[in-house]
Structure 1
């Protein structure tokens, strides 16, 4: 396939995925990221506790996200998924995040497409940086993340409350299986 054909195919796939994605957030509700995010404390491994269904994580369990500071000041993102079962095949996606403002990042997994960036807003993070709720202004994706593969009901409730306060329908969240350790 020629480079132009590959670019056009990627553009069409990206447009189709954006156009067809369900919205989980009432966009008439104002969305707000946390007023301050210490990116150094945010770095490291996060376990996906729950997510809103999305095409790119279909069938994924045991999902983790690893964030590391790059020399250029941006953040490397490595998402890992086990397909179908906790002992299933591992797939990874490598991306780059850029801090856009307090609690606001943009992420891309296709760096050669400058407009293929997605919003990634931290809507809630506890004081110890152990649980976070992530969302987007368009409301097509969202996650509850934690430093451990399991969290207590009280922490889950706080993360869900932050999503709900930002217009998300938390009844649409799906739990993500994690290794019980």
Structure 2
């Protein structure tokens, strides 16, 4: 009986913590993503990084559409410096039906899927912001390893407007001549 009460209290506290974390409204995805056009290389320009990418240099996300409609993803980067060890992480993006292809569940480790929301996509598919309702991670990416300061500032203004803590944003070092 004591275990059940403890478990119930823990669940109540967890639900309460989640409610507090979700005071902001859900991130609004873009209306539609043309998946074939979205595929290819995306250079990470700025991020609130996961633990895997805290010291990433020359970070590059590559998307490949699979025959079943899922998206094969591979994340390449140098760890700690431009000469650091090259690392790679593979995952699968599972497109959520009825979202205009703008919301995915990204699975790095089975059975867990991380939320992936295309929150901003430039009309010419040259820049994107990938967000999460929890505001714990965000990725500002472009088709080129560098973007103008004006574009950088405009994209970060969009991230700020979504309710992200700007003090956690990390500009990802990109050295175009050394990008892989």
| Category of TM-score, reference length = shorter chain | 0.7 to 0.9
- Kindly report which structure 2 residues correspond to 1:98-137, keeping only aligned pairs within 5 A, or say none: 98-100=94-96, 101-102=99-100, 103-110=102-109, 113-114=110-111, 116-137=112-133
Equivalent in the alignment of 1:36:
32
State the TM-score, normalized to the length of structure 1.
0.79
Moved beyond 6 Å, runs of 4+: none
Gap runs ≥5 in structure 2: 1-13, 15-20
Task: Give the aligned length.
Answer: 154
- For residue 165 of structure 1, report the CA deviation from its aligned partner: 2.1
Over aligned residue pairs, what C-alpha RMSD do you find?
A: 1.7
Gap runs ≥5 in structure 1: 1-18, 20-25
Larger Rg computed on CA atoms: 2
Q: Does 1:70 align with 2:69?
A: no
SS of 1:132's equivalent in the other structure is strand
Q: 1:52, 1:125 → 2: CA distance?
A: 18
SS of 1:140's equivalent in the other structure is coil
- For residue 74 of structure 1, report the CA deviation from its aligned partner: 0.5
- For residue 99 of structure 1, report the CA deviation from its aligned partner: 1.1
State the TM-score, normalized to the length of structure 2.
0.80
Q: 1:175, 1:160 → 2: CA distance?
A: 10
* Stretch of structure 1 that moved more, 34-43 or 60-69: 34-43
SS of 2:176's equivalent in the other structure is coil
Q: 2:167, 2:93 → 1: CA distance?
A: 28
* Stretch of structure 1 that moved more, 142-151 or 28-37: 28-37
